[in-house]
Amino acid sequence: MSEIIIRGGGPLEGSVEVQGAKNSVLPILAATILHPGQVALRGCPHLSDVDASIRILRHLGCQARWEGDELLVDSSALSRWDIPDHLMREMRSSVIFLGAILARMGWAEMSYPGGCELGPRPIDLHLAVLRKLGADLREEGGHLRCTAQHMEGREIALSIPSVGATENAILAACGAEGETVLVNAAREPEICDLQNFLQAIGCQVRGAGSSTICIQGRRETHDAVHTVMPDRIVAATYLAAVAAAGGTVELRNVDYRHLSTVTAALHEAGCRITGGEGRIALRSDGRLGSAGTIRTAPYPGFPTDAQAILMAALLRSQGTTVFVETIFESRYRHVDELRRMGAEISVADRVAVVTGVPRLSGANVQCTDLRGGAALLVAGLAAEGVTKVGGVRHILRGYEDPVRDLAALGAKIEWES
């Protein structure tokens, strides 16, 4: 397995284009099942999680092939409704296929999903929503057997605005009779992108981006082309990298409105940020201040996926920043690795307190999960000496080629087998 070698301490300069969004394309790949024909996804990122989704689609009988950064999926020959255990274990978001398979086939069988270990992420809410639509779901020893021969639309109020449950509900409701109204739905931009894709193939979905989403089920679908939205967490990672290392960088193919809480925190820490149509520019001298208190929350709050990344950017700041993680229970696993580099971080339950230190030192560190791995890259760019990052398979779940992108900005970073 490859490692990433970083020789830190230098500023970043230049511009780079942000890839398509992982958290958008995965539910869209599941949604391709709804249309018995071909769709083209432009700007689809080459990620290991995308590869895992493609393997699921092919197992179900679909065809999928790459043409550059465009992924073509043909679901006309879909013939199966089961996903074997080894495919489900490859990523947590594999459960998103449940609603789409039920909508298209009326049957579904799968085990519980795998993915990064970030504490309990039960799929009970997903199952409760599908049951309200009329699905019969039976759980036996970590295996799900589901039937939905006749789902009917109805009003469904989510107990929390879960992104995954919202997406699964939308996909299942596309196969239900009549109208489904989701109340307290998640508002993330990636759900808007899913709606845009569904509208492109002919489904009638409206309201994404608000807390109420309406779906008219059983609509005629057709072939379509869809461009995947830019990845706001990848953009946040590169902004944090420049903030920590210093320099001036412009990001292209990015929606600055999706990053308002991240840029606000970086601005408070002392960065100069400007945004325009499809771009964000950040300037930093590498000497940051405190960002106050950062509390993660569902969109439009501060994204939990950016918590570790911003923490890494503030390790050499002057002052103290407090992080409160409200989404996942085990999202501070990267802290021990950052401490190896000289970081001063104290953790108590869901609160982490970062006290800035004058310098960080390169070290051998291991990725604990996807975003924790990205945080190690950010810290390595700000550290003196050489940082060797292992366990990079986690990073490749969500970043197409961070070495390529950061090297384009002048970072001394390379792959090492």
Q: Does the active-site annotation cover 116?
A: yes
Q: What are phi and psi of 416, to 5 degrees?
A: -140, 125
Give CA angle at 376 (373, 382), nearest 5°: 155
Strands 143-147 and 136-140: antiparallel
Taking residue 66's Cβ as centre, other Cβ atoms within 10 Å add up to: 12
CA distances from 300 to 12, 187, 415 (A): 29, 7, 35
Scan for tokens 């432009």, then name that residue.
42
In three-state secondary structure terms, 410 is coil
Who contacts 35 (Cβ-Cβ below 8 Å, separation ≥6)?
A: 75, 201, 202, 221, 222, 223, 224
Place of tokens 């809410």: 125
Number of other CB atoms surrounding residue 13 within 10 Å = 14
Residues whose CB is less than 8 angstroms from the CB of residue 53 and which lie 6 or more positions away in sequence, other chains included: 26, 29, 30, 91, 94
Structure tokens at 218: 């059983």
Alpha-carbon separation of residue 88 from 49, 83, 380, 404 (angstroms): 11, 7, 33, 30
Residue 335's beta-bridge partner residues?
none
Cis amide prior to 161 (ω within 30 degrees): no
116, 146, 271, 367: which one is catalytic?
116
> What is the DSSP track for 183-223?
ES----HHHHHHHHHHHHTT-EEE-BTBSEEEEE-S-----
Amino acid at 249: V
Cite the active site residues. Answer: 116
